[in-house]
Amino acid sequence: MRASSTGAQLSFEFAARTCTGSIQAAWYSGATPDRSGLQGYVIAVRAPADPQRAPRQRGADKAPHLSLRRQGITEWRASISDLLADGKARTFNAICVILSGLTADICLDEVPEHALWSLVEQSRVEFTLHAPILFRTNDQR
């Protein structure tokens, strides 16, 4: 499903999963959801199967936010596209851990998040509205 930027504003939703079933995901692309206020943090919700960050090593980057800001959005777009090309849906947290070893809370409102949403706006990546928000390449149909 392609979201229209002229239609109703998309918003993230929290949904409770039951013990006997799961939520049927609807996928959206082409426009970004409302990420104002607390909704801006919903993509940081982790899924139970997300990879864990490796323990911080001695001498590790003490200011990863500053390091992320020096990285290019073009490189992040390419890395995210390459990662999602395997067809597996992933959370923003999983994408960040796999590509940089950093968790979503560090990458919020930084180059990785901007790159991901730019891929959504280009309709190259689609997402769900239910937390944990999943992302996948848009050619899964």
- Please enumerate in sequence order all residues whose Cβ is within 8 A of that of 96, keeping only pairs 6 or more positions apart, or say none: 102, 103, 104, 106, 107, 112
Domain count of the chain?
1
Q: Is residue 104 part of a domain?
A: yes
| 117 belongs to a structural domain | yes
What band does 126 get if pLDDT is binned at 50, 70 and 90? very high
pLDDT of 52 higher than 50: yes
pLDDT at 73: 92
The answer to whether position 75 is within a domain reads yes
Q: How confident is the model at residue 62 (pLDDT cuts 50, 70, 90)?
A: low
- Report whether pLDDT(59) > 80: no
Quickly list H helices, 12-139: 64-69, 73-84, 92-100, 104-107, 111-121
Count of positions (residues) in the chain: 141
Q: Does some domain include residue 57?
A: no
User: What would the two tokens of residue 131 be?
Assistant: 């937390």
Domain residue limits at 133:
13-46+62-137
Indicate whether 30 belongs to any domain.
yes
pLDDT band at 13 (very low <50, low <70, confident <90, very high): low
Please say whether the dihedral angle defined by the alpha carbons of residues 116, 111, 113 and 103, taken in this order, is positive or negative: positive
38 domain-assigned: yes
| pLDDT attached to residue 99 | 92
Mean pLDDT of 8-30: 61
